[in-house]
Amino acid sequence: MVFEKYQKVAIVTGANSGVGFGICQRLLESQGESLTLIMACRNPARANKAKELLLNQFPFANIDIELVDVGCTKSVLSFSAAIINKYPHVNYLFCNAGILSACGLNWKTLIYLVFTDPVGLMERSDSTIQNVGEINEDGMGKVFAANVFGHYIMMRELEKLLSNSGDGRVVWTSSITAYNKSFNIDDWQGIKSKEPYESSKWACDLIAIVSGERFQREENHIASFTTSPGVVASEIGALPVWVCKVRFLVHYLFRFCGVASQNVTAYNGAIADVYAALEPLSRLSFLSRYNSLTNRWGKAYVGAKAIPGYDRVTAEKLVEKCELAYQAFKKNSDLNFTTAPAN
């Protein structure tokens, strides 16, 4: 492998659709041929289709596809090992892939919010009925594993490569819906929570801040930031098609009325992620969440806001739990590898 060809390397999880695809577009726009874009995706067919769309828009692009299921620890560890073997450094790690596991709409709540809090209805998922108690094959909370823990493992495994870049950035895609009341450290994986998505996104905020503090303390040339794409009309949540189409039109109406969180398109929703990756560190703070916003005429911009209700003690406890779980899974993976029968 000739490492000299790599100038800047970016990893985007969930790159084949939604905000992940928007991040890819904005990165290729700003970085050009100097960037090697790694699309970290689960589905090879969707990944290749997305790559083709990007190459049609950016014929000069250097794009690699690396398959990974962020909700599976074995897959993430395998992915990370492949990255370490292929690339000399990583400049940007976008922890973007995620799931919202829903089973329908609470029409009573939806109608109530239409009359009492229409902006909240369009910004939050209060009327979405989320699945409770889902566990993945690793025995972890399904939503937490995909939205948080898989990315935590990836960040930890790739720290050396991030540091090698001289200015590594880890950018966590949180959510406008994330708030401290949705999270309980005694249920840190959100298994019992009625809002596992919001709980997981608040966990992203906590981990981003604690990691940013650690990176700064250790002076290891990595920074960590949290962002929100605002409201994007994506397929997350697996809602009926007609609901998505109606919602799409309502988003535009609310934006025209001045609700800046209604970014609607993934391209607009991705502006905060790329901003956190490319802006000089002197202009950024890991204590803020960077929000994608759009004015009524469709121009996207970034707004920074302190994370309301941030509790360092809770955040450090969460990272400690994630670290212990990460080390346990890694040890088990190493044991399985060393004891595997020869072919």
Residue 275 has what pLDDT? Answer: 98
Q: How far apart are CA 291 and CA 228, in angstroms?
A: 5
One digit per residue, pLDDT tens: the chain, 343 residues?
A: 444 566 999 999 999 999 999 999 999 999 988 999 999 999 999 999 999 999 999 999 999 999 999 999 999 999 999 999 999 999 999 999 999 988 777 777 778 777 787 776 666 777 788 999 999 999 999 999 999 999 999 999 999 999 999 999 999 999 998 989 999 999 999 999 999 999 999 999 999 999 999 999 999 999 999 999 998 876 544 556 666 667 778 878 888 888 888 899 999 999 999 999 999 999 999 999 999 999 999 999 999 999 988 999 999 999 999 999 999 999 987 766 444 443 3
- Residue whose structure tokens are 């994630």: 322
Which pLDDT belongs to residue 67? 98
One-character DSSP codes across 22-89:
HHHHHHHHHHGGGEEEEEEES-HHHHHHHHHHHHHH-TT-EEEEEE--TT-HHHHHHHHHHHHHH-S-
What are the counts of helices (DSSP H) followed by strands (DSSP E) for the chain? 13, 12
- Report pLDDT for 239: 57
Whether this prediction's pTM lies above 0.85 is answered by yes
Three-state SS at 102: strand
pLDDT of 123: 65
Strand 62-67 versus strand 92-95 pairing type: unpaired
- Angstrom distance (rounded) from CA 143 to CA 135: 8
Pairing between β-strand 8-13 and β-strand 35-41 as defined by DSSP bridges: parallel
For residues 272 and 228, give the distance between their C-alpha atoms in angstroms, rounded to a whole number: 7
